[in-house]
Structure 1
Amino acid sequence: MSIAQIVEQALQDGYLTPVMEAEVGRICDNASELSIEEYMALDKLMGALLTGEVVAIPRKQFINVMEELVLTEAIARIAEIEATSESSLDVGDIVAYALNRLPPLYATTEEGASFQRETAQAQMKELISQQVNEAIGRYLDRPDFFPERQALSKSTGNEVERQLTALLKTYAPKFEQNDNDP
């Protein structure tokens, strides 16, 4: 999507979503110089944001309380294990495994989050502990078959190009693009 298309969509909807905002940022970061049309579209968007014609939606209007509970449990268990052994565990892998096996507990207010937290601690403490323990067990028993795997990180814009290049090098090592090719 171009900046002009994003701005038109935002004006039509009355909202600038985080995805739209990120796309505008990506385009601006990757362009060495913006065109006059792109500057005009950005100016139009700024005016609409300032007048309230377009409202920017905050990045996160809700939280998953289960993430907080699982992370707290996982960190406590991992600290115990790492203190008594030579093992080094990846918190992200363990938390993701456990969260994929537990129900989400979303809240949009502090009161809702407190309610979800209290309810989960009263009714799901054992289940959370069980899933974190299972995640740790799976993590410790996993084979080391993908040592080159990369953790998720913020996209810098060139990620897709780098991944595609690496993929092509792996699966088409003898292919060379010729400048004379169509």
Structure 2
Amino acid sequence: MGINSIVEQAMQDGYLTPSMEAEVGRICGTAAELSVEEYLALDQLMGALLTGEVVAVPRKQFINVMEELVLSDAITCVAEIEQTSDTSLDVGDIAAYALNRLPPLYATTEEGANYQRQRARQELQTLIQEQVKEAINRYLDRPEFFPERQAINPKNNSNMANQLSSLLKDYAPGYEKDSNFF
């Protein structure tokens, strides 16, 4: 989808979704030069955003608490494995596998998120741990096919700390605020 069609869609719908915004950013970031029509479309979009004719939808108006819980457990398990072996694990792959096998726990308020966290710790902690361990086992047993596959948002963070920090920023925005670990 090009800039012109994204702007046209945003003008028609009255809102700019996070995926539309990301695509415009990707196009602008990778294009050597934009056409005059693309600049005009971006100018039109900017004007519509400023006047309120188009509203930018916030990235997240809700959170899936299960993502935080799975990431926390996966980070702990992966760190233990990587400290005791030469194996390198991808926390994102492991978390995605586990999350696909666990119920989502969405919340729109901090109170709701706290409730979901408490509920999950009481009712789902064992299931979360089992799914993370299964994800790690599957990851370690996976064949090396499709080596050319690329991450959804490829980032040049090769060390574990940067990879974890990036994942936490995406999935648990307030997780690192009081930590100087990374």
1:60 equivalent in alignment to 2:88: no
Please list the CA deviations of residues 36-64 of structure 1 after superposition, one character each: whole Å capped at 9, or x if unmatched: 33222222211111111111112222221
In structure 2, the residue matched to 1:13 is 13
CA, structure 1 residues 81+118, in 2 after alignment: closer, same or farther (shift >3 Å)?
A: same
Aligned to 2:60, the other structure's residue is in SS state coil
In structure 1, the residue matched to 2:175 is none
Please list the CA deviations of residues 84-111 of structure 1 after superposition, one character each: whole Å capped at 9, or x if unmatched: 4454433223222211211111222222
Shift of 1:118: 0.8
- C-alpha distance in 2 between matches for 1:5 and 1:83: 49
The normalised TM-score by structure 2 is 0.71
Tell me which moved more, 142-151 or 117-126: 142-151
Tell me which moved more, 31-40 or 47-56: 31-40
**Structure 2 unaligned blocks of 5 or more:** 156-182
Bigger CA radius of gyration: 1
Query: Kindly, what percent of the aligned residue pairs are identical?
Result: 68
In structure 2, the residue matched to 1:89 is 89
**Structure 1 unaligned blocks of 5 or more:** 157-182
- C-alpha distance in 1 between matches for 2:150 and 2:55: 33
Please list the CA deviations of residues 59-90 of structure 1 after superposition, one character each: whole Å capped at 9, or x if unmatched: 22222111111111122223333444454433
- C-alpha distance in 1 between matches for 2:23 and 2:124: 39
1:112 equivalent in alignment to 2:106: no
Shift of 1:7: 2.1
CA, structure 1 residues 146+39, in 2 after alignment: closer, same or farther (shift >3 Å)?
A: closer
In structure 1, the residue matched to 2:144 is 145
In structure 2, the residue matched to 1:170 is none
What is the aligned length? Answer: 155
Tell me which moved more, 142-151 or 21-30: 142-151
Compute the RMSD of aligned alpha carbons.
2.6
- C-alpha distance in 2 between matches for 1:110 and 1:124: 20
The normalised TM-score by structure 1 is 0.71
Q: Which amino acid aligns with 2:133?
A: N
